[in-house]
Amino acid sequence: MGKKGITGSRLHKRPDPYDAAARQTNMTKLEAIIQVSKLDAVKDALHDVGVEGMTVFEARGHGRQKGHTEFYRGREYTVDLIPKVKLELVLADDMVEKAVGAITTAARTGKIGDGKIFYTRIDEAIRIRNGDRGDAAL
Amino acid sequence: MNTVATASTDLRDLYAKESASIQEEFALTGDGKTALARRTALVESLLQRLWNDIVSADEAGPKDFALVATGGFGRGWLFPHSDIDLLFLHANEARETACRDTVRRFSQELWDLRLKLSPMTRTLAECEKFDPNNVEFAISLLDCRYLAGDRELFTRLREKTIPRLVARECQKLVQNLGDITRVRHQKFGNTVFHLEPNVKDGPGGLRDHNVSVWLALISAMEKLAMWPDPKTLLPVTSRRAFDDALQFQMSVRCFLHFRHGRHDNTLTWEAQDEAAARKIGVADLEVATAAEWMRVYFGHARAVHRVSLQLLGEIPAAWSSLSRQLNNWRSRVSSPDFSVVDGLVFLQKPDALQDPEMLLRLFHFVAEHGVKLSTTTEYKIEQVLPALAATPPRGAELWLYLQETLVQPHAAEALRAMSALRLLPLLLPELKGIEALVVRDFYHRYTVDEHSFLAIEHLHKLKESKSEVDRRFADLLGELEQPELLYLSLLLHDSGKAVPGDSHVEAGLQLTETCADRLDLDPADRETLRYLVASHLEMSAAMRRDVFDPANVKTFAEKVGAPERLKMLCLMTYADIKAVNPEALTPWKADNLWQLYISAANYLNRSADERVHADDNSAILTHLHSLAPVAGKKINTFLEGLPQRYLRMHSVSDVLAHADMAGQLGKDPVQLSLKQVRHWYELTLLTADRPFLFASVSGALAAWGMNIVKANAFSNAAGVVVDTFYFTDRFRTLELNIPEWERLKQSIASVITGKADVARMLQDRLRSEKGNATKVRISTRIDFDDTCSAHSTLMQVITQDRPGLLYKMCSQISKHGCNIEIALIETEGQMAIDVLYLTANNAKLDPTRQTALSRALHSELESK
């Protein structure tokens, strides 16, 4: 290794998702997979923290949660992929923590199967009605 | 050039000024017909001026080239944002080539005037050719109208070319028109009753009006070989309603175009509010709300839809060979009262409808065969309705016909026909409020009555469905004891939406009570109906919780209480969701619904062992005591220790009857009652419990050739059993020989008291029936569960159903020293599903006994 080594300015740091200056945009998409029975509670909790726009999908899946088998009249009905609900929200970065807190608190039971939340960065958002872009479109 | 440029500016100004004037006048008057006439005249005058400027100063020139209005413009119906259908007609190809530049300039000027053109260029010879890929062009010629140019050329088109085309291609024209219309109707769910209908393309809309006229015109032209008088196209009896509908819909579509500022024909909720406020099309009527205004809309749309469907069905040339075959088949279903011709029902005796019973039979016929009423029959019905309104049918006789109609495969079609003719609200005024009722929510797509008809239709369609998921629900439907109650509950379940207030369920319950009174339902049926209407949202609500959580399943199952109710509620939920909109019942939801059903069904089977205590403060016990206050102690003694399931499975009147029978045991130790109930016979036995009892009675019934489809066995704390067997009489012994009823009872009593040898009786019977092949092989499966009951071991047996099965099974159970505390016996096709709560020496079965019993049963049930 030479004397110069690698200077700090050339170090590649993992970008901090909450550091708006380090990112190109300041919008984040949350995908939350939760139990069906928690949907109403999560919607109310998000509304309480000021989040009103979301998209809801019917989903199926499992992580460590096992499937379910029920016998009815001699036939076996096995459900490997448990019904879940997936929410997608695109938020300004300053709302993300609040939204995550709201979802987590409302959806948590402490048991396997509670679900997960994923973050993605959003490059751009446009409101179809009037062409607003960026944060203004949210 | 400058002259033309100046002319364009003048025309643009003229067009803008006149268009504004037309819009202002419409805003004041709401008169669509006048607005269309003015707009048509305006565009015509613009075209003629441009023709003079660009094509020929002589309006009748040049030779061999004419400008023709087609489609809506040809009809004189130019809506504010409709395209302008123009045909540039040439005598021959040479002329067409020569005029190409002229046509291009002409069209360009029109585009510059911001007129939305839909131009076509054809020679006369091309107009006579039928292009199956462009039927719309041939149809548009039916509305052709001279605008400018060679009038003689136009006359040849109208008087020679078009009649020749129609004469030659009549069948194809009508067939294609029918196909296009059917596809369009299918796109809108074949119903007029959308919450936000499309006034042009929706069923019963303006397009259906056009289709009706075209079909009638083609048929008349084919017969006459010339243009008929337009006034004679439609039957006199439908002309008035048709014309009124046209006036109304013209005004509505004008209103929508002006309101939206573009070619948008959807009556959104906001548009409905405004149309009602401005009284569009209803200046002479008392219409206060958007819902009332929409009722007027649906009334007109229904009239147009009816005529269009009749014309589609009645014109012989419209039939494909397949539909000819179908209609020929339908003609074979004629009866002494009704004849079916070309798929339409006619009365054999036109005055027969004076008898209300004939009217009810007519709709039963429609529901059974899926045929439509002919116009003649409909008019006959309309004529008798006023007299019927004075003394409408009611009571048990009405219910008899209604229930038989509701269970037929085409019940929904019959109900729609009854509704269209105003017969349904006359028979069941409880449904009057939801007739064509628009209730706004983001999920429902149809009016409330149409939603109910669709729900019934979806259940009937289950039988034909090939989907695996649907097959499960279809099997459930096949198991129902009283499907007619389910259908009636679907008809009534949203009736409360017509009543202002927060809860349509509560309001619906009151209407249900009135309906139950009107139909004179017996108490048990009334209670079931009431339950279904009151609880129709329960299962949907339960699905929003975790359907795999045992606690949720338990809560839901205990609310439902009985397997038969659970089946009905499950099917009701299936149908209710599916009828909201075509996408509402997703596979995800259907799976969840099924999961909840089977979990709850299993829970109910496993919780049958909870016992009644006579000092319980339950509503049903209080009710029982109130009905028979003198027999209070007798009832308490009888009920003490019986499973809760017993109370859920038997009506109050049955329980009182059983308690009475129990009171007679001192005089006669074997109490039997035998009655015929709907599809089967019901034998109830009360006697002191003893070993082999259930097996003996099962064997006796099998020896008589009876097929036990269902059975329940319960015992109380005093050791009295209440066993009920539901069976079908395979050889019609009881049906054809009344004395045999008493003989059967005596035979069973002899078996119970040991005076007759049931094994021998059964052996003789089975020997005589040897060799009957089974269609479906069912493997035997036996499961034990020690956890669901505190006192007993639950055993579930799934096996091939066969004569004498219950006797063989219960004999083995008794041979192994087990007592049957509760038996829940059902059959599903060739599958027997038996759930038994067993004890041995008043305790649960130990593992050794379970294994021995299982082995013995397998051996018995799997032997040939």
Query: What pLDDT, in 10s, does the model give residues B135-188?
Result: 999 999 999 999 999 999 999 999 999 999 999 999 889 888 988 998 999 899
How far apart, in Å, are the Cα atoms of A111 and each of A58, A59, A108, B544?
A: 21, 19, 8, 18
Report pLDDT for A7: 44
How would DSSP label each residue in B81-98?
A: T--EEEEEEESSHHHHHH
Residue B295, chain A, CB below 8 Å: the answer is no
- State the smallest CA–CA distance between residue A115 and chain B in angstroms: 14
Report pLDDT for B417: 94
Q: Do B589 and A58 touch (CB under 8 A)?
A: yes
Number of C-beta neighbours around residue B55 at 10 A: 21
Best probe of the A interface among B543, B544, B782, B830, by most A CBs < 10 A, is B544
Residue A68, chain B, CB below 8 Å: the answer is yes
Q: Greater confidence, B153 or B61?
A: B153
Best probe of the B interface among A72, A80, A85, A114, by most B CBs < 10 A, is A72
Residues 6+ apart with CB under 8 A from B673: B657, B661, B683, B684
How far apart, in Å, are the Cα atoms of A62 and each of A33, A56, A66, B155, B853?
A: 10, 18, 7, 74, 40
**pLDDT, mean over chain B:** 89
Sheet strand arrangement including B372-373: B338-341, B344-347, B372-373
In percent, how much of chain B has pLDDT > 70? Answer: 95
Q: What is the mean pLDDT of residues B612-632?
A: 72
Q: Do B778 and A58 touch (CB under 8 A)?
A: no
Partner residue opposite B546 with nearest CB, options A35, A40, A59: A35
Closest residue in B to A58 (Cα) is: B588
Closest residue in A to B799 (Cα) is: A74
Q: What six digits make up the tokens of A4? A: 């110069």
Q: Do B599 and A36 touch (CB under 8 A)?
A: no
- State the smallest CA–CA distance between residue B834 and chain A in angstroms: 9
What does chain B come to in residues?
864
Residue A123, chain B, CB below 8 Å: the answer is no
Report pLDDT for A8: 44
The band of B326, judged by pLDDT with boundaries at 50, 70 and 90, is: low
Question: CA angle, B503 as apex, B497 and B504 as ends, to 5°?
Answer: 25
* pLDDT tens track, chain A, 138 positions: 444 444 444 444 555 555 555 445 689 999 999 999 999 999 999 999 999 889 999 999 887 777 788 888 878 888 888 899 999 999 999 999 999 999 999 999 998 889 999 999 999 999 998 899 988 888
Contact predicate A58/B589, CB 8 Å: yes
Q: Do B544 and A74 touch (CB under 8 A)?
A: no
Q: Greater confidence, B807 or B788?
A: B807
Contact predicate B215/B311, CB 8 Å: yes
Whether residue B224 has pLDDT greater than 90: no
Best probe of the B interface among A57, A73, A75, A80, by most B CBs < 10 A, is A73
- State the smallest CA–CA distance between residue B778 and chain A in angstroms: 10
Q: Do B548 and A68 touch (CB under 8 A)?
A: yes
The band of B625, judged by pLDDT with boundaries at 50, 70 and 90, is: confident
Q: Do A74 and B595 touch (CB under 8 A)?
A: no
Whether residue B812 has pLDDT greater than 80: yes
Q: Greater confidence, B506 or B236?
A: B506
Closest residue in A to B832 (Cα) is: A73
How would DSSP label each residue in B580-620?
A: T-TTSS-HHHHHHHHHHHHHHHHHHHHTTTPBP-TT---HH
Interval B713-764: pLDDT, tens? 999 989 999 999 999 998 899 989 999 999 999 999 999 999 999 988 888 8
- State the smallest CA–CA distance between residue B572 and chain A in angstroms: 20
Partner residue opposite A72 with nearest CB, options B548, B589, B601: B601
Q: What is the mean pLDDT of residues B583-611?
A: 90
State the count of interchain CB pairs (< 8 A) between A and B.
51
Report pLDDT for B862: 83
Decide the pairing of beta strands B372-373 and B344-347: parallel
Closest residue in B to A39 (Cα) is: B544
- State the smallest CA–CA distance between residue B777 and chain A in angstroms: 13
Residue A41, chain B, CB below 8 Å: the answer is no
Report pLDDT for B779: 87
Whether residue B524 has pLDDT greater than 70: yes
Residue B475, chain A, CB below 8 Å: the answer is no
Q: Do A70 and B602 touch (CB under 8 A)?
A: yes
Q: Do B548 and A58 touch (CB under 8 A)?
A: no
In the structure, how many helices (H) and strands (E) does chain B have? 38, 15
Report pLDDT for B632: 75
Q: Which helix (H) or strand (E) holds B21?
A: helix B2-29
Residue A44, chain B, CB below 8 Å: the answer is no
A83: left (phi over 0), alpha (psi -120 to 50) or beta: beta
The band of B332, judged by pLDDT with boundaries at 50, 70 and 90, is: low
Report pLDDT for B321: 52
Partner residue opposite A36 with nearest CB, options B546, B598, B831: B546
Partner residue opposite B598 with nearest CB, options A37, A60, A72: A72
The band of B607, judged by pLDDT with boundaries at 50, 70 and 90, is: confident
Name residue B194's beta-bridge partners: B446
Closest residue in B to A35 (Cα) is: B546
Report pLDDT for B42: 95
Decide the pairing of beta strands B680-688 and B670-677: antiparallel
For B:365-424, CB contacts with A below 8 A are none
**C-alpha span between B384 and B356 (Å, rounded):** 9
Identify which of B719, B742, B744 has the alpha carbon closest to the alpha carbon of residue B729. B744
- State the smallest CA–CA distance between residue A69 and chain B in angstroms: 10
A83 contacts in chain B (CB < 8 Å): 547, 588, 591-592
Q: Which helix (H) or strand (E) holds B826?
A: strand B819-828
**C-alpha span between B30 and B251 (Å, rounded):** 6
- State the smallest CA–CA distance between residue A37 and chain B in angstroms: 4
Q: Do A83 and B592 touch (CB under 8 A)?
A: yes
Residue A7, chain B, CB below 8 Å: the answer is no
Residue B746, chain A, CB below 8 Å: the answer is no
Which residue carries 């019927």 as its tokens?
A: B388
Residue A35, chain B, CB below 8 Å: the answer is yes
What is the phi/psi pair of residue B192, to 5°? -75, -25
Whether residue B1 has pLDDT greater than 50: no
Whether residue B838 has pLDDT greater than 70: yes
Contact predicate B6/B47, CB 8 Å: no
B552 contacts in chain A (CB < 8 Å): 37
A79 contacts in chain B (CB < 8 Å): 548, 591, 595
Residue B717, chain A, CB below 8 Å: the answer is no
Partner residue opposite A79 with nearest CB, options B595, B783, B798: B595
How would DSSP label each residue in B279-330?
A: TTT-TTS---SHHHHHHHHHHHHHHHHHHHHHHHHH-GGG--HHHHHHHHHH
Q: What six digits make up the tokens of B717? A: 């704390």
- State the smallest CA–CA distance between residue B542 and chain A in angstroms: 9
Best probe of the B interface among A34, A35, A36, A86, by most B CBs < 10 A, is A36
Report pLDDT for A2: 42
Q: Do B544 and A72 touch (CB under 8 A)?
A: no
B478 contacts in chain A (CB < 8 Å): none
